C-alpha cells in the first residue's frame, strides 16, 4: 500500500488537472499557426502527463514515444550515461517537436534527448515538463513549459515511479525519507 511510503501529498489531483488545463491552453495558443506539432512523450514517466495534456490541447497534433534509460539499473537519478531503449516510430524532419517529460532533475536525460532530436532536423524543439527540481540541475537546459517547480525531494505518483511502481497514483507525493534512503 502506498500510504506506508507517503510522507505527504505535494500536488493533489485537482491542482494537477487545473495546471495541465492551463498548459494545454498555452500550448494551443503558441502553436496555433503550425500544422506539424508532434508531442514526444518520454517513457515511462511522461505517459500519465501526456494523456492528460493532449486532451487539453485544442489544435491538431500527433504523438510519439521515446523510451530512454540512465545507466545503472535501480538508480534513482541519472548519472549522465543515457541511452535509447525505444526510438520514435517516425521521421521528425520538419516537424515542431514538443518533448513531454515527467520531471527534470540533473538535466542529463533532457540534454541527451534534445541533442539527439536536434540532429534529426526538426523545425523546432521545445520542452514541457510537469515537474522541475531546479536546485538539482547540473546541466543548463532551456525549459519552455513547466507545470510546477518543486523542492529537492524524491516524489512519486502521476507517472513517476518508486522502483517502477505507483505510477498510477492520481497525485504527486513525497516519499518518506527512510523509504527513499533504503
Ligand atoms: P535527470 O536526467 O537527472 O534530469 O533525471 C530525470 C529522470 O530521473 C526523470 O525522467 C525520472 O525518471 C527520474 N527522477 C528524477 N527525480 C525523480 C523523482 O523525484 N521521482 C521519480 N523519478 C525521478
Ligand atoms: Mg524514472
**Domains of the chain, residue spans:** 2-24+35-70+77-180
Helix, strand, or coil here: 103?
Answer: strand
Q: What angle do CA 78, 5, 147 make, to 5 degrees?
A: 55
| pTM, full prediction | 0.94
CATH code of the domain occupying 2-24+35-70+77-180: 3.40.50.2020
Please state the atom number of ligand 1 nearest to the C-alpha of residue 162. 21
* Per-residue confidence (pLDDT) for residue 70, from 0 to 100: 75
* Per-residue confidence (pLDDT) for residue 73, from 0 to 100: 45
* Per-residue confidence (pLDDT) for residue 168, from 0 to 100: 98
Cα-to-centroid distance, 34 and ligand 1 (Å): 31
Cα-to-centroid distance, 34 and ligand 2 (Å): 32
Cα-to-centroid distance, 114 and ligand 2 (Å): 18
| Averaged pLDDT, groups of 10, the chain, 182 residues long | 95 98 98 89 97 97 94 55 94 97 94 96 97 93 96 96 96 91 71
Whether 147 is in the pocket of ligand 1, judged by its Cβ within 6 Å, is no
Please choose, from the candidates 89, 91, 31, the residue with its C-alpha nearest in 3D space to the C-alpha of residue 61: 31
Whether 132 is in the pocket of ligand 1, judged by its Cβ within 6 Å, is no
* Per-residue confidence (pLDDT) for residue 129, from 0 to 100: 98
Whose Cα sits closest to atom 16 in ligand 1? 105
Whose Cα sits closest to atom 8 in ligand 1? 77
Please choose, from the candidates 115, 67, 44, 124, the residue with its C-alpha nearest in 3D space to the C-alpha of residue 92: 124
| Dist. CA 31–CA 109, nearest whole Å | 25
Look-up of cell digits 525505444:
86
Amino acid at each position: 500500500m502506498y500510504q506506508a511510503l507517503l510522507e505527504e501529498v505535494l500536488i493533489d489531483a485537482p491542482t494537477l488537472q487545473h495546471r495541465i488545463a492551463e498548459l494545454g491552453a498555452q500550448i494551443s495558443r503558441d502553436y496555433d499557426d503550425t500544422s506539424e506539432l508532434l508531442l514526444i512523450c518520454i517513457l515511462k514517466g511522461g505517459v500519465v502527463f501526456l494523456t492528460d495534456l493532449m486532451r487539453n490541447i485544442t489544435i491538431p497534433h500527433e504523438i510519439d514515444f521515446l523510451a530512454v534509460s540512465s545507466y545503472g539499473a535501480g538508480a534513482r537519478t541519472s548519472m549522465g550515461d543515457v541511452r535509447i531503449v525505444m526510438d520514435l516510430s517516425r521521421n521528425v524532419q520538419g516537424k515542431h517537436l514538443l518533448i513531454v517529460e515527467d520531471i527534470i532533475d540533473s538535466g542529463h536525460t533532457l540534454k541527451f534527448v534534445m541533442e539527439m532530436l536536434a540532429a534529426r532536423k526538426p523545425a523546432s524543439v521545445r520542452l514541457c515538463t510537469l515537474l522541475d527540481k531546479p536546485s538539482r540541475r547540473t546541466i543548463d537546459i532551456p525549459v519552455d513549459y513547466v507545470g510546477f517547480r518543486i523542492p529537492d525531494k524524491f516524489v512519486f505518483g502521476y507517472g513517476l515511479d518508486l522502483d517502477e511502481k505507483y505510477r498510477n497514483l492520481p497525485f504527486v507525493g513525497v516519499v518518506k525519507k527512510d523509504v527513499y534512503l533504503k
